Structures are given as C-alpha cells and as structure tokens.
Structure 1
Amino acid sequence: MPTPPRVLTIAGSDSGGGAGIQADLKTMLALGVHGMSVIAAVTAQNSLGVQGYWELPPVAVRAQLDSVLSDIGTQAVKTGMLASTVLVETVAEVLADVTVPIIVDPVGVSKHGDSLLAPDALDAVRSVLLPLATVVTPNLWEVEQLTGIKVDEENRLRDAAEAVRALGPEWVLIKGGHLPGEPVDLLFDGTSEYRFAAARHDNRHTHGTGCTLASAIASHLALGSDVVEAVGRAKEYVTGAIEHGFPLGEGIGPVDHAWLQRR
C-alpha cells in the first residue's frame, strides 16, 4: 500500500479527547493523512474546563521532534498549545530548519476561558514562532493578545489581519466566528484577501474547533492543495464537525471529527 501524506502536530494532550493532540489526530485520520504527534504539555480537562496542565521538559519535546523528523519526515506541521517561552523557543529552533508548510494555531486560552499559555510566552510567539508560519490561525481573543487590536465587528477583520501579518507569517486566517451574524473568516497574505462564510449552527458542543481547523488546513496542504483551497476545504470540514457536535459530560461537548464517515 502507498504511504499516505504525513502531518506532524506539536501540541498539548486533552484528556477529554475533544481538542489538542487528540483532535488533531482524529482530523488527520478523517482527511486521509498519517498523523504524528509531539506532546508539549499534558492537560487535565473535561467538558467543564481545564483543571490543570503540566509542561513536558524541553529535552523531551526536542527528542520527540528529532525522532519523527530524522526518520519519518513530514509534509506539513501544525503547532498548538506550547504553554511556555522555553517550549515555544525549543519548537521554533527545530522548525527553523523544516521546509514544509507550518500551520500555527497560537493557543492562548481554552474554550472555557482557561489560560493555556504563560503571559511571558507571548513575546516568543511573536518573535520566533510566527515568522516561521505558512498560515497562522488566531481567533479574536488571540488577535487581541498578540496585537492589542480588539475586533468587535466584521469590518475590523482586515485591520487585525494586517497587524498579525506584520509579525511575520506568510498568511493570516482571522477566525471571526465569535462576531454577531453568520461566521466569516478572513484569509490575508499581505495583498489579497479571501473571505470564507459558513452557516451558524445552533449547537453549543464546539470544543476543539480551533485545533480541528488548523489540523485540517495542514492535512489539505500535505495532500497537495494550495493555501486558499486548503483553508476552504478545512472550513467545510470544521463546519460539518460543528453541526454534528455531540454532548459529552456536563459541559461543552466536542465537534464530531468522524462526521464524514457517518454520512
């Protein structure tokens, strides 16, 4: 059998299975690529929130990266929760020598509002990680963390995209799902902008949307799509996953990563 395209995720583990490494690998499997993982942190979390997290030592993160990249290789990389300055710098140092697309999901807080990134790590994200990104995928809260720009209406998405792109990524995808009205995401490369609209589904079970979208973009890039096509296909996948999100526990349930297989 031919080897499928390979995608590497570098992120935190979600014990509830809805976000983080678990969501990344489920997304990759659903979209037909081989997912590999570097675990940067372990969280204790469920449908009600994050009860705690613990970073892995930098030597452990680097060893995982070296193991995968030296033997298996990858055709795209996705980063998620990196937790601290030293882990951001460790990952960026390795990825500086990687020539495949890099999708950066600058995870700052969980779906429940729990912090997943040390405040002093923001400077490292700005200075050493974002300049390596092929696509960075901040939500509106992460835009404000990174740039100070508060987006409260759709006509400010372009301002946000320009501010984030000034930090160095090739492409910026501003996720506008928390704005009123129909969800619109803005993709920008410094010259051209593309808007991706979707239906808003009346479903509170949306845990893992950001991880899922970034992993889907990475997967489609590994499969051969260009950035615009990859974002469009990823948007379709995550919209379906949100529509089919299901209850789990007493709080916010996950999106359904297997919705394509259930049709």
Structure 2
Amino acid sequence: MTKGQSDLVLTLQSSVAAGHVGNAGAAFAMQRLGRDVMRIDTVRFSNHPKHGGYAGGPTDATEIDALAEGLGARGFLEHTGAVLSGYLGTAENAAAVGRAVDRVRDARPDALFCLDPVIGDKPHGSFVAPGVAEGIAAELLPRADIIIPNVFELEYLTGMTVETPAEATQAARALMAKGRAKLVIATGLHIGADIANVAVTADAAWACAAPMVDAPAYGAGDLFASVYLARYLEDASPSRALELATSAVHAVFVETARLDLPELALIPAQAMLVDPPHLFAAKDVQ
C-alpha cells in the first residue's frame, strides 16, 4: 500500500468507560500520533474486568456489520489505509471483523490489516469466550498483513515454544506461513530483568528490550499495537517502528509507576508517545 498521513485507520476492539483498554487507549494513542481514527467497539464494559467486576457486554455482530456498512456507504472506507483489530468478545465478532476487513479492501484494495490476536497471556492462559481463538485462527489470521501476538498467543497459534528471540523468530515465520502476513511482532518476551518485543519479516528479525516496570499492565498490548501501527504508517521501517513503540510503552509504564496509578498513565504521558524520553535500540536477532 502507499502509506499516507491522510489515510484513516479503522480500529475494531473492546472499549471501557473508565481506563485505557482497547479502543479507549488505542484510538487516543493513534490520534496523538497524527492518525485520523474511526472506532467500532466490539465490547463495551464499564472498566477492565481485573478491577473485580464490571458492567456491560459484547456488541452484537450484526451491529458491527451495520456500522461498517454505514462507513462504506458514506465513502469513508475508500480513504481507509489500515484496519486494526483486538479483543473481540464473541466468536461471531471474529467473522464480523473479517467482513469489515473485506469491506475496506473492496473499497481500498491496498489497505493494511493489522491483527492483535487477543486470546490470553502468561501466566493467566486464555481469557476469551469459547470459540474466539478458533474464530481468530479461521477468520482473521488468513486476512492479516501484520500480526502482533504476545508470547502466549504466538505459542497458542503455532504450537511452538517461545522463550528466546530466536524461537520467537521461528514461530513468527511459521505464523506467516498460515496466511498473507509479511510482518509479525511478538511482544512480552521476558529476558532477565528486561521485557523484549521481536519484529520478524521473511528475511530479518530484530529484538528491542526495555527494563520491566512494576505497574498495572491493563491495555499495554493494545497500546503497543496501536503505536506500532501508527509509526509503521509513517513510513517507519519495521525495526524503527519497533524501537519507537517499545520506547513509548515503556515511558508510559514508568509514568504509571511514578504516579502510582491503577491504570496506564496515558494522559499524563501522552507527549511521551510522540517523543519517548529514552529510545531503546533494536538489535538483529542472530
């Protein structure tokens, strides 16, 4: 695709009334980085469930279809350069997101689809409803140009063990073989006292590590995926986008810990999304 700053981004993922999870964080982050964003919320919760309870529920797949159809009917989709998806809520919503991607590509064939295959994490395992993981594998993996799984999700989708950057590279390429993706970024790889993200193409791989920070991580994967996509759409190389996204998310974690907040300090740290105070370097994976 021709990557242009004027292109719209359509993001389909969860949202919360309080906090910065899913679209409630991703849309703001991409807007702060200069993207014009359209939102379709796949679930609407009062807050992240880890706070001990929540109200709300998933968006019906027919509503997702109707919203995407409405955007298409009014000409927005032909100006959409990328689609980002995250937490889905239901298996039916995986198919609805797939249909939304198809609608965008019908209007704009060169649009990118960036998939954050939200299934679970370590050490909690899978936390999605029955059928969601299977829906992601069947409906969304084959359509994705960029895939951003965490280590648990990469292992789940490939059946491979991922404990090192080299193993992440091997698993990422196995994931590419399942569809059209040319770029996979594995997130949340623990290396000593650091946490690393690994960007992988068919012929190169880079790891970018930053010190772990003791702070609430609700929405961290959503934030990383949105910042990475926004930077990539600026014509950043895969490794440069990796450096900028890793550094920005680390800065938000540091600010969250400094302020002792129960959610990511996205508003106080918003300038750091644009200009991280410390840039962590990406290194070639051998």
Structure 1 length as normaliser, TM-score? 0.84
- 2:177 corresponds in structure 1 to 166
Comparing 42-51 and 111-120, the one that deviates more: 111-120
**Matching residue's letter, 1:138:** P
Residue 133 (1) aligns with residue 135 (2): no
Alignment of 1:28-107 (within 5 A): 28-46=30-48, 48=51, 51=54, 54-70=57-73, 71-73=75-77, 74-97=80-103, 98=105, 99-107=110-118
What is the SS of the residue equivalent to 2:271? helix
Q: CA deviation at 1:140?
A: 1.2
Residue 247 (1) aligns with residue 260 (2): yes
Q: CA deviation at 1:201?
A: 4.2
Measure, in 1, the Cα distance between the counterparts of 2:252 and 2:213: 13
What is the SS of the residue equivalent to 1:176? strand
Alignment of 1:106-185 (within 5 A): 106-109=117-120, 113=124, 116-168=127-179, 169-185=181-197
- Cα 1:193–1:58 change in 2 (3 A) is same
Measure, in 2, the Cα distance between the counterparts of 1:127 and 1:117: 16
- 1:27 corresponds in structure 2 to 29
Q: CA deviation at 1:258?
A: 4.8
Report the identity percentage.
Answer: 21
- 2:211 corresponds in structure 1 to 200
**Matching residue's letter, 1:60:** E
Q: CA deviation at 1:259?
A: 1.8
Offset from partner CA, 1:167-204 (integer Å, 9 cap, x none) = 2222111113444332222111222212222x214332
Cα pair 1:105 1:214 within 8 Å, conserved? yes
Q: CA RMSD in A?
A: 2.7
What is the SS of the residue equivalent to 1:102? strand
Q: CA deviation at 1:127?
A: 2.3
Higher RCO (CA 8 Å, separation ≥ 6 residues): 1
Comparing 172-181 and 29-38, the one that deviates more: 172-181
Offset from partner CA, 1:216-263 (integer Å, 9 cap, x none) = 1222233333444333322222222222124345xxx21435524378
Q: Alignment length, in residue pairs? A: 257
- Cα 1:217–1:49 change in 2 (3 A) is farther
Measure, in 1, the Cα distance between the counterparts of 2:265 and 2:123: 15
- 2:271 corresponds in structure 1 to 261
- Cα 1:154–1:192 change in 2 (3 A) is closer
What is the SS of the residue equivalent to 2:184? strand
Measure, in 2, the Cα distance between the counterparts of 1:167 and 1:53: 34
What is the SS of the residue equivalent to 1:75? strand
Measure, in 2, the Cα distance between the counterparts of 1:54 and 1:111: 24
Q: Give the one of 236, 252, 257 matched to 1:225.
A: 236
Cα pair 2:195 2:212 within 8 Å, conserved? no
- Cα 1:52–1:120 change in 2 (3 A) is farther
Q: CA deviation at 1:52?
A: 6.0
In structure 2, stretches of 5+ residues that fail to align are 278-286
Measure, in 1, the Cα distance between the counterparts of 2:94 and 2:215: 31
- Cα 1:15–1:244 change in 2 (3 A) is same
Measure, in 2, the Cα distance between the counterparts of 1:226 and 1:50: 41
- Cα 1:225–1:152 change in 2 (3 A) is closer
- Cα 1:240–1:166 change in 2 (3 A) is same
What is the SS of the residue equivalent to 1:117? coil
In structure 1, stretches of 5+ residues that fail to align are none
Measure, in 1, the Cα distance between the counterparts of 2:161 and 2:260: 31
Cα pair 1:7 1:77 within 8 Å, conserved? yes
Q: CA deviation at 1:85?
A: 2.1
Q: CA deviation at 1:215?
A: 0.8
Structure 2 length as normaliser, TM-score? 0.78
Measure, in 1, the Cα distance between the counterparts of 2:238 and 2:34: 18
Q: CA deviation at 1:122?
A: 1.9
Cα pair 1:13 1:21 within 8 Å, conserved? yes
Q: CA deviation at 1:105?
A: 0.7
Q: CA deviation at 1:110?
A: 7.4
- Cα 1:193–1:154 change in 2 (3 A) is closer
**Matching residue's letter, 1:100:** A
- 2:200 corresponds in structure 1 to 188
